[in-house]
Amino acid sequence: MTGMRYLLCFAAVAVALLIAPVVFPSSVAITTMSLMGVMIIFALSYNMLLGQTGLLSFGHAVYYGLAGFCAAHAMNIIAAGKLPVPLPVIPLVGAAAGLFFGVIFGAVSTRRAGTVFAMISLGLGELVAAFALVLHTFFGGEDGISTNRTKLLAFFGYKFGPQIQVYYLIAFWCFVCIVLMYALTRTPFGRMCNAVRDNPERVEFIGYSTQRVRFQAFVLSAMFAGVAGALAAINFELMNLQSIGAAASGQVLLMSFVGGAGHFAGPVIGAIFVTFLQVSLSDITKAWMLYFGLMFIFIVMYAPGGMAGWLALHWPLLRNGRIVRLLPAYALAAVPMLGLALGGVMLIELAHHMLVQAASDGPQLSIFGIPMNGASPWPWLAALVLFAGGAFGVRAAWPRVADAWGRALAAPGTTKVNS
Amino acid sequence: MLELVTFSTLNGVLYGMLLFMMASGLTLIFSMMGVLNFAHASFYMIGAYFGFEISRHIGFWPGFIIAPLLVGVVGALIERYGLRRVHRYGHVAELLFTFGLAFVIEELVSMIWGKAPVDYRPPPSLDFVAFSLFGTTYPAYRIFMLATAVAMFVFLILVLRRTRVGLIIQAALTHPDMVAMLGHNVPRVFMMVFGVGAGLAGLAGVIAGPALVTQPSMAALLGPILFVVIVVGGLGSLGGAFVASLLIGLIQTFAVAINVSLADVIGPTAAGIFGELGRAPLAQIAPVLPYLLLVLVLILRPTGLFGTRES
């Protein structure tokens, strides 16, 4: 029965991947969705470490980046030698490269878990980034390594010139990787990873080597990151130093955590959400990096389960229909929250405009289409009132939300505690 | 050659002492709360920018006093209203919180002061040549930096070893529950240590800002090196942090000063074995060296040079 459910789930994912370009046919949408596909694999591979094995890595982009460079070089070599290798198998080159570097660096870094692992991963990331600056032949210096995906052997007549063909290539690999990574969580090995995360001492007592489990998880994770890196090389036809550095590692951490590291689907949600924000927010506001950072801190402080964790919290209530009882309290809390968010956005936008752009563009700006003058105190005052009023309102409304939660959970039929 | 060795040693020790001013706070905070503060280098950056802003309005010396205090207050507030809240979700959440904080601070700083370096200069009262040796001059400001760092070091040792506060801090490191039983407010001790650690990093920023470059990327450039220092020295070991700071300070300074490549040392075969690395001069490889040291130490001695604890 549950087996059927998973099959249906994967079938739904496959259908969604297939029809997405039909629903969103614009070229911007297809470019964005291609990027999302790459990021989904990357974030899922990261979550094999963070979510499933409890290893916090600050250098996961090393495997993504190195595999991407290897794939770019492989594509150039294949194109130059006219070797009979079509483009769709290039991600396997990335997987091999990821596996290779995962074995080398994993042997060093998985000796210890916890904070020390986090620092070693950071150090290794910096080490590789610093080396990448020195080794010009392999990493191409500032320009990076460019390649041309259409120069490879045609695959059943497809040359992968148009973005839509690349999208389907990425979607195919994305689907394969999702299924494989999910299947891995259901194996005894996947369960051992969870055990190492939750209680390493006990794992040692029942005769497993936690170090070996960490190493295996690390290597597999690096391999899937390698697939993502190779797909990135195919998608952009360019790999540069940014894809290997600390910023890329931070980004994948952000995606997994915002989506929710505790659930398999979390990184998928996170990758889609963060990529969408990156593409759309960077057009709307110049301070989007700041919003990202603040959103991250907010989630760490108030919703450490991420978006998937929040959804999972509501799932049982949604199934038995009790979610309706929460709606009044949520509606009440939503008003001050909206005020808080609006006030915060206004403050950031005003500050950003006055500090960065006012010197060249003058004090006039518009937020949400409303024109205002950043030099006059009124917009500032309005933003402050919204922000402070919102914060006050949220504090006042919060007990009601907690109360509604308690009642929805304790209602007859779910638990016998309060009846 | 003697000239190079003398000045590189001086600069190396200076850089090492600067590193130690930050690493000491970082390692104290770590051994107390188990939190690796990713934002520690950000406090260093805030210190430099606060110092710059104050020096622009009322002069360098008031900034020298006020900026570190301000940074300390900022640090204590962050501990009280941010970190303490996250504490219940475990160490990973705390680490992630400080990671996000470092990111936000960098964005805020580049928003307020711009992405380009600011013009933060040594005060005129220290803008002279301290001495000249072998025909090379050494600025007085660097001597002042060294003196400040050494004074800070002595102060820290005295406070930790010779005062009641230091006694409580040391006890809270290993036996927080017992210290709380004896009636001390351990969370407040943590907050103070976090604040003082941040303030020390801020002071390092104030004195390093004029000598190095004050720019929004200064935290991201220094942060990873700090982690290398405290891991190489041994997590939680103050003495280890001191030795590792000096070691890395000297290594980096000498590597930049000595212009040889592997090919010069081993001969032309180096290029064959190491490829491009063999031909690259040491100065170019210098940024890699701390991380190489980190990996080597972790392979050969996983607890660090003076560390006793695994994590």
Alpha carbon distances (Å) from B219 to A219, B64, B105, B110: 31, 19, 9, 12
Q: How far apart are CA B23 and CA B245, in angstroms?
A: 8
At A279, the amino acid letter reads: V
Q: What distance in Å separates the CA atoms of residue A316 and residue B197, rounded to the nearest whole number?
A: 45
Instruction: Give the β-pairing of B136-139 and B129-133.
Output: antiparallel
B114 touches chain A (CB under 8 A): yes
Torsion over CA of A51, A56, A58 and A59, rounded to 10 degrees? Answer: -70
The reply to whether residue A301 touches residue B227, judged by beta carbons under 8 angstroms, is no
Tokens 């209680």 sit on residue: A199
Nearest to B238 by CA among B310, B164, B305, B188: B305
To the nearest 10 degrees (0 to 180), the angle between helices A188-198 and A210-236 is 110
B143 touches chain A (CB under 8 A): no
Supply φ then ψ for residue B149, to 5 degrees: -65, -45
Cα A126 to Cα A105: distance, rounded to the nearest angstrom: 13
Distances (CA, A) of A212 to A222, A279, A373, B268: 15, 39, 61, 41
Which region, left, alpha or beta, applies to residue B139 given φ > 0 means left and ψ of -120 to 50 means alpha? beta
Residue B145 CB partners (closer than 8 Å, separation 6+): B14, B17, B18, B207, B208, B211
Nearest to B291 among A54, A123, A356 (CB): A123
Residues B135, B6 contacting (CB under 8 angstroms): no
d(CA B272, CA B280): 13
A197 near A217, Cβ under 8 Å?
A: no
B2 touches chain A (CB under 8 A): no
End-to-end CA distance of chain A: 34
Other CB atoms within a 10 A radius of the CB of residue A80 amount to 9
Residue A287 to residue B111, Cβ atoms within 8 A: yes
Is residue A271 within 8 Å of residue A259, measured between CB atoms?
A: yes
A355 vs B82: CB contact, 8 Å cut-off?
Answer: no
Tens-digit pLDDT profile for residues B119-165: 887 777 777 776 777 777 778 888 888 888 888 888 888 888 888 88
Tell me how far apart the alpha carbons of residues A233 and A173 are, in angstroms, rounded to a whole number.
14
Q: Is residue B300 part of a domain?
A: no
Of A109, A134, A301, the CB nearest to B86: A301
Taking the C-alpha atoms of B13, B17, B20 and B22 in order, what is their torsion angle to the nearest 10 degrees? -130
Say if CB B111 and CB A290 are below 8 A apart.
yes
pLDDT tens digits, B165-198: 888 888 887 787 888 888 888 888 888 888 988 9
Torsion of CA B289, B295, B298, B304, to 10 degrees: 20
Neighbour tally for B46: CB within 10 Å: 25
Is B280 at the interface with chain A, CB within 8 A? yes
In chain A, where are the structural domains located? 12-307, 320-410
Mean pLDDT of B224-228: 87
In chain A, how long is the greatest CA-to-CA distance? 76
Nearest to A121 by CA among A249, A11, A18: A249
Compute the radius of gyration of chain A from its Cα atoms.
24
Of chain B, the percentage scoring pLDDT greater than 90 comes to 8
Per CATH, is A12-307 categorized as 1.10.3470?
A: yes
- In the prediction, which pLDDT does A419 show? 33
User: Chains A, B: CB contacts under 8 A, how many?
Assistant: 123
How far B294 CA lies from chain A's nearest CA (Å)? 7
Alpha helices (H) along A266-322: 266-284, 288-302, 306-319
B294 in a structural domain: no
Query: What domain count does chain B have?
Result: 1
Chain A residues whose beta carbon lies within 8 Å of the beta carbon of residue B97: 297, 300-301
Cα of B147 to nearest chain A Cα, Å: 31
* pLDDT band for position B273 (cuts 50, 70, 90): low
In the DSSP assignment, the letter for residue A24 is S
Could you tell me the pTM of the whole model? 0.85
SS3 readout for chain B: CHHHHHHHHHHHHHHHHHHHHHHHHHHHHHHHHCCCCCCHHHHHHHHHHHHHHHHHHCCHHHHHHHHHHHHHHHHHHHHHHHHHHHHHHCHHHHHHHHHHHHHHHHHHHHHHHCCCCECCCCCHHHCCEEEEECCEEEEHHHHHHHHHHHHHHHHHHHHHHHCHHHHHHHHHHHCHHHHHHCCCCHHHHHHHHHHHHHHHHHHHHHHHHHHCCECCCHHHHHHHHHHHHHHHHCCCCHHHHHHHHHHHHHHHHHHHHCCCEHHHHHCCHHHHHHCHHHHCEHHHHHHHHHHHHHHHHHHHCCCCCCCCCCC
Q: What is the mean pLDDT of each run of 10 residues along chain A (419 residues)?
A: 77 87 86 92 93 90 93 89 83 93 90 81 87 82 82 75 87 93 92 91 91 94 94 90 86 90 90 89 80 88 86 82 79 86 86 78 75 79 87 84 79 46
Give the structural domain span for B117: 2-216
- Asked if residue B280 lies in contact with residue B55, where contact means CB atoms within 8 angstroms, the answer is no
Q: Is B49 contained in some domain?
A: yes
Q: What is the DSSP letter of A154?
A: P
Q: Is the pLDDT of residue B87 over 90?
A: no
Ramachandran assignment for B236, one of left (phi > 0), alpha (psi -120 to 50 degrees), beta (any other): left
Please report residues of A whose CB lies closer than 8 A to that of B103: 250, 289, 292-293, 296
Residues 6+ apart with CB under 8 A from B182: none
Least Cα distance to A147 among A229, A223, A92 occurs for A229
* Angle made by CA atoms B11, B14, B15, in degrees to the nearest 5: 85
**Three-state DSSP class for residue A148:** coil
**pLDDT tens digits, residue range B22-32?**
888 888 888 77
Q: In chain A, what are the helix, strand and coil shares in percent, each to the nearest 5?
A: 80, 5, 20
What is the Cα–Cα distance from A396 to A337, expressed in whole angstroms?
11
Q: Is residue B142 part of a domain?
A: yes
Nearest to A3 by CA among A186, A190, A193, A176: A186
For chain B positions 202-241, those within 8 Å of chain A (CB to CB) are 220, 224, 227-228, 231, 235
